[in-house]
Each structure stands twice: as C-alpha cells, then as structure tokens.
Amino acid sequence: MSAVPRPQWTPDEMMTVTAARMLWDRCVCFVGIGLPSAAANLARLLHAPDIVLIYESGTIGTRPRVLPLSIGDGELADTATTVVPLPEIFSYWLQSGRVDVGFLGAAQVDRFGNLNSTVIGPYDRPKTRLPGAGGAPEIAIHARQVFVVLKQSARSFVSEVAFKSSAGFLTGYGARKASGVPGGGPQAIITDYGVMKPQAGSEEFELVARYEHVTVADAIAATGWPLQVAATVDVLQPPTQDELAVLRDLHRRTREANSRPVKLPV
Amino acid sequence: MAITTLQAAISAHVHDGDTVALEGFTHLIPFAAGQEIIRQRRRGLHLIRMTPDLIYDQMIGAGCAERLTFSWGGNPGVGSAHRVRDAIEKAWPGPLAINEHSHAGMAAAYVAGASRLPFGMLRGYTGTDLPGVNPTIRHVVCPYTGEHIATVPALNPDVTILHAQKADRAGNVLISGILGAQKEAGLAAHRLLVTVEEIVDDLGAPMNAVVLPSWVVTAVACVPGGAWPSYARGYYSRDNAFYITWDEISRDRATFTAWIDRYVHGTDDFAGFIAALRADGVGP
C-alpha cells in the first residue's frame, strides 16, 4: 500500500458507500442479500428516497428499517408496497423487463463479468460446493444493467470462472449479444480496491477508479488476470461523515434486531 | 381431508423413496414436519425445495435423502449448508444426486406441475453452464416468433408439505406474508400435508387471500411454532440467532449427529423438541 494513512472506515463501508452512490432515485433495483442489500438501502436512506427495492422473496417497494439477514425476513414483507408469489416476481416483474439494476454478489467473477456462485473444481467432484445460482441467472439477463459487488483477490477475480452461474459478457467482443442474451449485462464491479467497468469493444473489465489509499499496482496484484487500466483512473471520493453515520446507524439497528431473542408463543 | 397429528400424517403419507417437497421461502418453513420425517427414519427420498437451507441440512445430514432438486442451498445470510455440502462433496452420510436449477426455473416447474402441464418455460439459463450439468433443462421453439425458450419438466411431488398460519375446522388453509412457491408446490403435489399455527372456527380470510381449500388438502396438523427457527408472520419472527448458531452445530459431523440424536430422535414430537432445547437453555 502507498504512504497514504489507512482510512477511518472499513473496506466493506467503502464498497457499500461507493455502490450506493451508483444508484439513483426512482430506480427499480433487484437486490441480492449482503453488501448489495446494504448499499441499496443506504442509497434509499441518503439520496434515493423513492428507489424501488425488489427482493426475490416477492417483496416489492420494500423499505426495511433494519437490514435483512435472509432474503425473506419479515421486515421486508412488513415494509413492502406489495408481496407477490415467487413465480410472479420472476415472470411478471423481472422477465418482463421492469428492472433497471440487478445488484449481485458472487464467489468469483471473471474478466468478462461472468459470475460463479455454484462450484469450485469439477461439478461432479467439487472441491468446494457453493450454494448455487438462486435468482442470479435470470437477474443477470433481464435487468437493464447489473452491478456486482465483490471483495477483490486473485482467487475471486479469475481469468475464467470455473462455472458460469450467470452470464456476463461470456467470451467478450460481442459474444453475449450474439448469443441472444438480453439485458445490458454487468456495467460495474465494485471492489475493495476500486471500480472496474467493461472496456468498449473487448468487454473485458478494466480498472477505472481506485480508492485513495490504494495504488493501481495493488489493484493489479489483487486480480487473477492481467488487469488493464483505463487511460485515466479516477480517485473515488472517501465516504462523507453523513454517509458513514447513516450506514453505521443502519448496521447498529440491524445488530440490535438480530440479537433480540425470539420467544415462541407456545 | 383429515385433521390429525403430525406423526400420523407423516406415517400415513410419506413413504420411503417418495418425492417430497417441503416449501416455504424463508418464511413458514415446515421444520416440525421435516424433523418428524427424520424421527420416523424415512430413507431414499427425492427432496425438492428451491432453497434447501437448514431444514434439508437436517434431513440430508440425518440420511433421509438420495436425490435433491434445488436452486440455492445455503444458510441464508450466514454461509454454507454444511450437511448439504458434505453430502455432495464427500457423500456423507450417503451419496446425494442433484438436479440443479435457478429459482426462476424451479418456479416455472412448480407452475407447470400445478397446471398439470408437462413442462414450464421461461427466458432463462441463457449463457450459463447449468443446462450443461442438468440435461432436463431444454428448449422449445416458439411457434409464433421462432424464439428459443428454455423449458423445465413439471414438478409433481408425491407429497408437498407446507406450514401455514391457520386452518379452519373443515381444513381450509390460510397463508399470508411471503409465499414463495407454496401455493404452486401444494397444487402440484399428489398429496398435500399442512401444519398450522392454530385451528380456528373462522379463517377470516380477506377476499383474494391465499386459501387452499380443504378438498385439495390431504391432512392438516396443528403444530404451534412448527416453522421455528423460520417464522410465521403474526405469530413469531425469524430466529436469526439460531441460524447463526446452526453454522457451529452443523459444521462438524459428530456435533450435528449429537444434536439430531438429542433433540430429534431423543424426543417424541415437536413440543418435546422445543422442551428439550429449553431444558438445555438454548430454546426459543
């Protein structure tokens, strides 16, 4: 790392704030659990009060007061505009093209933005069996664009994913479009080093922005393919006091809610 | 339709080798029923569930299943379903064959099953490796536009098991809150078992509420708390702390087996299970 002192926030906080800034008011966002959910709700509490958050459990327009641990926590239903059956969320709401942004995490991403959340090693003799694709394959093709949030390392940012759980740009150079995959595909990968975006033409992800305390060399070293670097690499603005205060308050409320013991009424 | 005990319902309607779906997406997961299947030592089941989380972690770790049809298998918000992983990676306690889908694909398959159509269809799986490992994911050509549309074979379980908030004395069942694919999985099945929080004189169901009429239900059993550690909206909330604790219980084969022996095999029913947890100071 460079001589710039370590910042007063965690990598997770920096990623969450950076991702939140990419969302806009009234945008319809199909949210995955974890960092994507934290970022989408932070955006809602800051600059995007009328963002429409959809979770695959069927909750539409949800405004949770605390972050859900699971994709179907009661809080998501209780604060939703409407709760629809699961077959409906994927057909009437996602497949129909009503979603602006799909917000995904994964275990691995490759240089063309294909995601793996299925398996490391051969499918039939897995080294590590991961949970699986869930809603991601169809989110990845039906959202107008996809943002990916993932901590960067040479193990998670690989030249080619072991298993394509959901489609990025496939082999690049227009392969996605040629194969008939709809949707705009992954337009940004937000990491703990900076932001990557697809290069025009090759559709390979390149570094377009970095955090203040990170060097371009750090980002290249934490990538499992020879990472290309944009002509100009922006320096991302650090989180403001306001952003950090709102995010930390959200996490505090969430911790309190999760530590509250549940009593069965029997 | 019969209102009966959970033991009697499982004993009469879930047989070795059956194809069994326990549905409920995070909400209203029929844990008590899953544990009763473990207690009655059913074997060779083909388990179907969109999200094989803790409930199938328990059933698979306890040796009930030889096949799993699913679209996401983990401990939601926490990490791995360790017993599901151990079965797939290391064939413990026995080999587990898998049919893997996406959520949208599973949903389409249940809709087809409920509609008694041979297959469901969707614009899905495109650009993924899933069709390469699941040969049941195929395509049809749209007769109107020529577009290639993905297909999945209908799911028609021998038995679907659901948990719901209420049934009335005639056996009509009311479900509210996050529904998942409960209604579709219920109507796709040959037999439908439902556990409920309470049995009431009048469901008081608003118009357009999700009600499964008694004549599509095989048996109803009243099992208050039967969705714990998931939740039943209006009755109790999700025990997120237990989901976190399960990571420790399930990580290790011996710890898991001791937990199943003490709390499931060592008790007579769900009330006994909760009482045993409480006696050890770890109950809800």
**Strand pairing category for A108-110 and A157-158:** parallel
- Domain membership of residue B94 (yes or no) is yes
The whole-angstrom separation of Cα A235 and Cα B276 is 57
Q: Which residues of A touch B50 (CB under 8 A)?
A: 86
Partner-chain residue, chosen from B111, B179, B238, that has the shortest CB–CB distance to A58:
B179
Can you give the residue ranges of every domain in chain A? 11-256
pLDDT reading at A69 higher than 90 = no
User: B123, A141: Cβ pair inside 8 Å?
Assistant: yes
pLDDT reading at A5 higher than 70 = no
Taking all residues of chain B, what is their mean pLDDT, rounded to a whole number?
97
User: B127, A261: Cβ pair inside 8 Å?
Assistant: no
Structure tokens at B38: 């473990």
Tens of pLDDT along A99-118?
999 999 999 999 999 999 99
Catalytic residue status for A212: no
Residue A176 phi/psi, 5° resolution? -65, -50
Taking all residues of chain A, what is their mean pLDDT, rounded to a whole number?
95
Q: How far is A176 from chain B (nearest CA, A)?
A: 8
The whole-angstrom separation of Cα A17 and Cα A94 is 26
- Using alpha carbons, select from B55, B129, B142 the residue that is nearest to residue A136: B129
Element (H, E) at A176: helix A175-178
What is the domain count for chain B?
1
Look-up of token digits 């405004």: A63
For an interface test with B, the pick among A114, A116, A129, A263 (most B C-beta atoms closer than 10 Å) comes out as A129
User: A91, B122: Cβ pair inside 8 Å?
Assistant: yes
The whole-angstrom separation of Cα B227 and Cα B162 is 9
Confidence of residue A2 (pLDDT cuts 50, 70, 90): very low
User: B124, A179: Cβ pair inside 8 Å?
Assistant: no
B/e letters for A26-44, b = 16+ CB within 10 Å, e = fewer, are: ebbbbbbbbbbbbbbbbbb
Chain A contact for B36 (CB, 8 A cutoff): no
Partner-chain residue, chosen from A58, A138, A264, that has the shortest CB–CB distance to B124:
A138
Q: Which residues of A touch B244 (CB under 8 A)?
A: 258
- Domain membership of residue B124 (yes or no) is no
Which of 196-255 (A) contact B at CB < 8 A?
none
Tens of pLDDT along B212-247?
999 999 999 999 999 999 999 999 999 988 999 999
Confidence of residue A260 (pLDDT cuts 50, 70, 90): confident
How many contacts, defined by CB atoms under 8 Å, are there between A and B?
A: 208
Q: Which residues of B touch A140 (CB under 8 A)?
A: 127
Q: How far is A101 from chain B (nearest CA, A)?
A: 17
What is the reported pLDDT for A58? 97
The SS3 call for residue B214 is helix
Calculate what percentage of chain B has a pLDDT beyond 90: 99
* Closest residue, chain A, to B130 (C-alpha): A165
User: A134, B72: Cβ pair inside 8 Å?
Assistant: yes
Q: How far is B123 from chain A (nearest CA, A)?
A: 7
The whole-angstrom separation of Cα B109 and Cα B180 is 13
When pLDDT is averaged across residues B145-170 and rounded to a whole number, the result is 98
Tens of pLDDT along B42-81?
999 999 999 999 999 999 999 999 999 999 999 998 999 9
- Using alpha carbons, select from A239, A103, A112 the residue that is nearest to residue A174: A112
User: B74, A131: Cβ pair inside 8 Å?
Assistant: yes
Side-chain-side CA neighbours of residue A177 (13 Å): 7
When pLDDT is averaged across residues A147-153 and rounded to a whole number, the result is 97
Contact criterion met (CB below 8 Å) for A144 and A188: no
Classified by CATH at the fold level, domain A11-256 comes out as Glutaconate Coenzyme A-transferase (3.40.1080)
Chain A contact for B115 (CB, 8 A cutoff): no
The pTM for the full model equals 0.97
- Domain membership of residue B160 (yes or no) is yes
User: A264, B180: Cβ pair inside 8 Å?
Assistant: no
pLDDT reading at A1 higher than 90 = no
When pLDDT is averaged across residues A148-159 and rounded to a whole number, the result is 97
* Closest residue, chain B, to A120 (C-alpha): B89
Chain B contact for A68 (CB, 8 A cutoff): yes
The CATH code of the domain that includes B168 is 3.40.1080.10
Q: How far is B275 from chain A (nearest CA, A)?
A: 10
What is the reported pLDDT for B230? 97
Distances (CA, A) of B126 to A166, A237, A243, B102, B149: 8, 37, 38, 11, 9
Tens of pLDDT along B79-126?
999 999 999 999 999 999 999 999 999 999 999 999 999 999 999 999
Tally Cβ neighbours within 10 Å of residue A128.
12
The whole-angstrom separation of Cα B273 and Cα B58 is 14
**Strand pairing category for B65-70 and B97-100:** parallel
Partner-chain residue, chosen from B88, B103, B129, that has the shortest CB–CB distance to A126:
B88
The whole-angstrom separation of Cα A97 and Cα A153 is 33
Partner-chain residue, chosen from A57, A91, A165, that has the shortest CB–CB distance to B128:
A165
What is the reported pLDDT for A4? 59
What is the ipTM metric for this complex?
0.96
User: B104, A76: Cβ pair inside 8 Å?
Assistant: no
What is the reported pLDDT for A70? 87
Range of the domain at B204: 2-100+156-279
When pLDDT is averaged across residues A192-215 and rounded to a whole number, the result is 97
pLDDT reading at B11 higher than 50 = yes
Give one DSSP letter per residue of A177-191, joined into a string.
Answer: HHTT--S--EEEEE-
pLDDT reading at B199 higher than 60 = yes
Chain A contact for B274 (CB, 8 A cutoff): yes
Tally Cβ neighbours within 10 Å of residue B96.
19
Partner-chain residue, chosen from A83, A258, A266, that has the shortest CB–CB distance to B178:
A83
What is the reported pLDDT for A6? 66
When pLDDT is averaged across residues A178-191 and rounded to a whole number, the result is 95
* Annotated catalytic residue within A13, A56, A203, A243: A56
B/e letters for B5-22, b = 16+ CB within 10 Å, e = fewer, are: ebeebbeebbeeebbbbb
